[in-house]
Amino acid sequence: MALRYRRILLKLSGEALMGEGSYGIDRVTLDGMAAQVARTAALGVQIGIVIGGGNIFRGVSAGAAGMDRAQADYMGMLATVINALALQDALRRSGVDCRVQSALTIEQVAEPYIRGKALRYLEEGKVVIFAAGTGNPFFTTDTAAALRGAEMAADIVLKATKVDGVYSADPKKDPHANRYRTLTFDEAIGRNLGVMDATAFALCREQKLPVCVFSIFKPGALERVVRGEDEGTLVTVS
């Protein structure tokens, strides 16, 4: 089947890297995600990735209680760099040429974020991991995904979660909850479905950048999404 999306921005949560653990990185889970990305890249899809840091930051969250918000957010950005380096290593072991660009300057371990260079890497078929969020406190990695997706002229933002889409209710609590196949941004906001944080969602709507919410743990799901198959929940302007 032909590809529907040629350039994607994949948003991975830090929590997804934990597997069944309470915090940290689960090696089996990480390698499984890298394998999905590798198979999708082999189809000819250009892939940018924004990764969260909740799995690392969660381990010190009790110590961050009461901390200055900006200081805590910078700590969270550093956690995303750790995850980005781990993912880069896993992708390279899967045979994928990969670069990490950081919104914070940490030149010993990652390149600084430069839009033109990132675009060139994507065009060359390299996977680009965008670390440290937007580089600013008070903005989530969801917002970073929307921002980088717009800057990279991505066809879609893919939000990888543990749930295979957006549901009318919590599927773990309500067995009759229905998965939405498609939604408009206005419907998602009106029903308070919490697809992404408000800033990220507003940016995607303004830029007419569709969002797909899907489960990264479902085998082959990422490949099915880029082919335009019925996978996850697609959120569009209309």
Residue 125 assigned as binding residue: no
Is 31 labeled as ligand-binding? no
Binding residue per annotation — 58? yes
48 in Cβ contact with 122 (< 8 Å)? yes
149 is known to lie in a ligand binding site: no
137 a known binding residue? Answer: yes
Q: What is the sign, positive or negative, of the torsion defined by CA atoms of 53, 212, 216, 129?
A: negative
DSSP states along 119-175: HHHHHTT-EEEEESTTSSTT--HHHHHHHHHHHTT-SEEEEEESSSS-BSS-TTT-T
Q: Does 112 show up as a binding residue in the annotation?
A: no
Among 6, 11, 53, 55, which Cα is nearest to 146's? 11
Whether residue 73 is annotated as binding a ligand: the answer is: yes
Residue 113: which of 155, 156, 84 has the closest Cα? 84
User: Residue 171, annotated ligand binder?
Assistant: no
The answer to whether 134 is annotated as binding is: yes
Place of tokens 């007419």: 208
Which one-letter DSSP state was computed for residue 60? G
CB 177 within 8 A of CB 168: yes
12 is in an annotated binding site: yes
- Binding residue per annotation — 68? no
Q: Is 170 labeled as ligand-binding?
A: yes
Nearest CA to 211 among 191, 184, 172, 175?
184
Q: Is 173 marked as a binding-site residue?
A: no
Please tell me whether 178 is known to bind a ligand: no
| Residue 13 annotated as lining a ligand binding site | yes
Residue 54 assigned as binding residue: yes
Task: For residue 139, say whether it is annotated as part of any ligand binding site.
Answer: yes
Q: Give the annotated binding-site residues.
A: 11-14, 53-54, 58, 73, 134-141, 161, 167, 170
Give the residue ranges of the annotated binding site for UMP.
53, 73, 134-141
Q: Provide the annotated binding site for ATP.
A: 11-14, 54, 58, 161, 167, 170
